[in-house]
A and B are shown apart, each in its own frame.
Chain A
């Protein structure tokens, strides 16, 4: 008797599991249709000629081209440059926000989040207006006599980097701010009462305890910036060509689907490499924090 009830219950539980699993199907289907299938299609397309025959020629062409390698270098320069500036600007800003009273901090956070809610093309336009040769910043620089000539701030690497940092800074800030907010204030009080200077407390208490947040923020920056398209396309003015804009040009200007796909795969490989490195780095970081008390 109990055995049959048990099997009936188990069958019921299985049926319910299947039902709950099926509720995910519409969402999973759309991911398959609009994300996974397209990526597989890029892989397929990279092995096809314009006529639709199988070839490895696309790979030979793209990998032997100097443009590809300079695009790769530009991509890394933009990503790592953005990351470095985000850490330099974002960490002190997060510290200031975390040390503010909660009410003040909430209001300030709303302002920090404003760009996050501004459309990407609106922000890009704002930067164009600010950075142009006769734009606001150059007018201020020449007007105050700081520079004699207007500086080339946009349609180049500098402009692209400014736009990318502006996009990523709020996203970098969020995890760092959260980590700093979570620090137990008693630790800092303890440091102070033992005679540590502010600098020492920042170095030995606040920074190690924020490392996880800075690490998460850095991952976000790298993942986003590696494929950035709009900012380099507009603020780079055609002179800054990471993989993303090279893919676009190869596809739309040269109509070379095969080469564009190979470039796309390079981007995927780059993302995978960064992913692996970050996983390894996280493991190291975790080990160090575990080891720290013994050191």
Chain B
């Protein structure tokens, strides 16, 4: 973009050293926890004097953490399984209706993602309290689904826009009902986008913290809730191990999604 200014070396150096600093700022907190998670000491010394896997053992050996991991994985899976079909149907509906109706539906579906998490959390808390459902998996699940639907829509809407609807028309004229047309034509052709949407919905649920903190409790506490509580009390290196595992998993998932989309 700035090729027209090949001789402004000083400006270029300044700009890039600034950019390098900003990027270091962005990556530092994610990277710093990795060596700490392998430390042998419970002091957060950097670099660690001796290395061990004790914090990983601590995590996998703790009944509380394992219960939270189980809760989070179940929640993430259920969220993806509910949110993606809902989002797919809504996207088909928006794609076919078009115009003002589609815009209205889209803005309603996007509302939860711009509403502060704390408002959704306390509102949901009141609603669930009235039904005596606070602390149940169901309560957190509806909260996560409502946040995952827009995320899935963002992936699926552009994919549907590229879809050739004549195929559905043909199938319908040959006597296929809508369920068949969707299951037999749309779903197989959107496979990759559906996979991305599923992974993104899963990650949305896994990372969601505020609703979890207010609604989940006891055995149904999620990973973010337990991490939040332990960060408030003390800085336990077990969290470094969890953070490292978590980031590794997310990086793998994101790599799968982006590489598959490119191929």
Partner of A33, one of B31, B108, B117, B142: B142
CB-defined contacts of B86 to chain A, threshold 8 Å: 26-27, 30
Segment 70-126 of A: residues with Cβ below 8 Å from B: 89-90, 92-93, 95-99, 108, 111-112, 114-115, 117-126
Binary CB contact string for chain A from 124 to 167 against chain B (1 if under 8 A, 0 otherwise): 11111110101110010000000000000000000000000010
Q: Enumerate chain A residues within 8 angstroms of B143, measured Cβ to Cβ.
A: 34
Q: Are A42 and B126 in contact (CB under 8 A)?
A: yes
Q: Are B90 and A28 in contact (CB under 8 A)?
A: yes
Q: Is the CB of A99 within 8 A of B228?
A: no
The number of residues on chain A lying at the interface, defined by a beta carbon within 8 Å of a beta carbon of chain B, is 89
Chain B residues, Cβ within 8 Å of A193? 4
B139 to A: closest C-beta gap in Å: 9
| Chain B residues, Cβ within 8 Å of A97 | 19
How many chain B residues touch A (CB < 8 A): the figure is 82
Closest to A265 in B: B119
Task: Evaluate whether A192 and B250 lie within 8 angstroms (CB atoms) in the complex, with A34-B146, A261-B122 already known.
Answer: no
Contact of A31 among B46, B146, B206 (CB under 8 A): B146
Q: Are A39 and B29 in contact (CB under 8 A)?
A: no
Residue of B nearest to A185 (CB): B1
In the complex, B175 has a CB within 8 A of chain A: no
CB contacts (< 8 Å) of B50 on chain A: these are none
Q: Are B118 and A35 in contact (CB under 8 A)?
A: no
Contact B23 A111 (CB under 8 A): yes
Q: How far is the CB of A96 from chain B (nearest CB, A)?
A: 4
A118 contacts B247, C-beta separation under 8 Å:
yes
Residue interface mask B158-200, A partner, CB < 8 A = 1: 0000000000000000000010000000000000000000000
Chain B residue nearest to A137 in the complex (CB): B28
Q: Are B210 and A230 in contact (CB under 8 A)?
A: yes
Segment of A3-11, A15-23, A281-289 engaged in the interface with chain B:
A15-23
Query: Could you tell me the dominant secondary structure of chain A's interface residues?
Result: helix
CB-CB under 8 A for A264 and B119, given A26-B89, A129-B32, A192-B5 = yes
In the assembled complex, the CB of A257 is this many whole angstroms from the nearest CB of chain B, namely: 7
**Given A115-B27, A119-B243, A126-B29, A39 and B235 touching (CB < 8 A)?**
no
Kindly state whether residue B63 has any CB partner on chain A within 8 Å.
Answer: no
Taking the closest CB of chain B, its distance from the CB of A44, in whole angstroms, is 8
Answer whether residue A68 sits at the interface, using C-beta atoms and an 8 A cutoff.
Answer: no
A35 touches B22 (CB 8 A): no
Name A residues whose Cβ lies closer than 8 Å to a Cβ of B.
Answer: 17, 19-24, 26-28, 30-31, 33-42, 45, 89-90, 92-93, 95-99, 108, 111-112, 114-115, 117-130, 132, 134-136, 139, 166, 169-170, 180-181, 183, 185, 188-189, 191-193, 198, 201, 223, 226-230, 233-234, 244, 247-248, 251, 257, 260-261, 264, 267-268, 271
